[in-house]
């Protein structure tokens, strides 16, 4: 059974178990999916309202993007588990095996791929949520704020799964390229997440 087909109770129970997957990457993707779903909820509560007729087409376009992002993040939950499997196997190779380093290096690069995708996708989610917060129904603005907080957290969590793997890479040029992109995403989107949260908070407290 795919991880995304499990109940919330079963997924979190497995997450809490000693099983290698799901882990931080899958949890990050799930949190990001929940975050962008909240953004999409703002859209659903905006379309069809006369007060927002002038931005309805913009909102519909945002909703279409949000739905694709949510589906992608859900796919990455199982994608992370699949990408981690070779690395988990590589750690079991005896240290005196002459092929261990080569197998480990390849597995580390594969394991970095999905959390990097999670980070990129959460960045897109934050772009979308920011627009929902600016244009969507004021009655649902708290949902946009919640979504931004979750997507920011998901990106930060995913970054840790990148950095723990790049730390072990022998190919330092590849590691530094991945770390550079991860840091750029963090710099841009943690600030954006905080900004959205601040704007929403100010509007609620008014």
Give the model's pLDDT for residue 91.
87
| Residue 4 within a domain | no
| Residue 131 within a domain | yes
Give the model's pLDDT for residue 90.
87
Give the model's pLDDT for residue 69.
98
What values do phi and psi take at 134, rounded to 5?
-80, -35
With contact defined as beta carbons under 8 Å apart, do 2 and 78 qualify? yes
| Residue 61 within a domain | yes
Query: From first to last of its 206 residues, what are the pLDDT tens digits of the chain?
Result: 899 999 999 999 999 999 888 999 999 999 999 999 999 999 999 999 999 999 999 999 999 999 999 999 999 999 999 998 888 888 889 888 898 989 999 999 999 999 999 999 999 999 999 999 999 999 999 999 999 999 999 999 999 999 999 999 999 999 999 999 999 999 999 999 999 999 999 999 98
| Residue 31 within a domain | yes
| Residue 115 within a domain | yes
Number of domains observed in the structure of the chain: 1
| Residue 43 within a domain | yes
152: CATH? 1.20.120.680
| Residue 78 within a domain | yes
Give the model's pLDDT for residue 20.
85
| Residue 12 within a domain | no
Three-class DSSP labels, 83-99 = HHHHHHHHHCCCCCCCC
Collect all residues with Cβ–Cβ distance below 8 Å to 16 and sequence separation of at least 6.
Answer: none
Give the model's pLDDT for residue 92.
87
Give the model's pLDDT for residue 206.
80
Residues spanned by the domain of 42: 24-205
């Amino acid at each position: 059974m795919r991880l995304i087909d499990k109940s919330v109770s079963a997924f979190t129970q497995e997450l809490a178990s000693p099983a290698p997957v799901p882990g931080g990457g899958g949890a990050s993707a799930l949190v990001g999916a929940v975050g962008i779903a909240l953004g999409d909820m703002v859209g659903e509560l905006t379309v069809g309202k006369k007060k927002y007729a002038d931005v309805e087409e913009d909102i519909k376009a945002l909703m279409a993007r949000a739905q694709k992002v949510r589906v992608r993040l859900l796919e990455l939950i199982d994608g992370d588990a699949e990408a981690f499997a070779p690395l988990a196997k590589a750690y079991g190779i005896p240290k005196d095996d002459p092929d261990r380093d080569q197998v480990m290096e390849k597995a580390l690069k594969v394991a970095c791929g999905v959390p990097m995708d999670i980070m990129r996708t959460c960045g897109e989610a934050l772009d979308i949520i920011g627009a929902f917060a600016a244009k969507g129904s004021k009655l649902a603005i708290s949902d946009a704020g919640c979504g931004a907080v979750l997507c920011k957290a998901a990106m930060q969590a995913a970054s840790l799964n990148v950095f723990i793997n790049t730390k072990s890479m022998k190919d330092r040029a590849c590691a530094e390229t991945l770390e550079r992109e991860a840091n750029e995403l963090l710099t841009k989107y943690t600030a954006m997440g905080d900004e959205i949260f601040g704007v929403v908070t100010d509007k609620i407290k008014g």
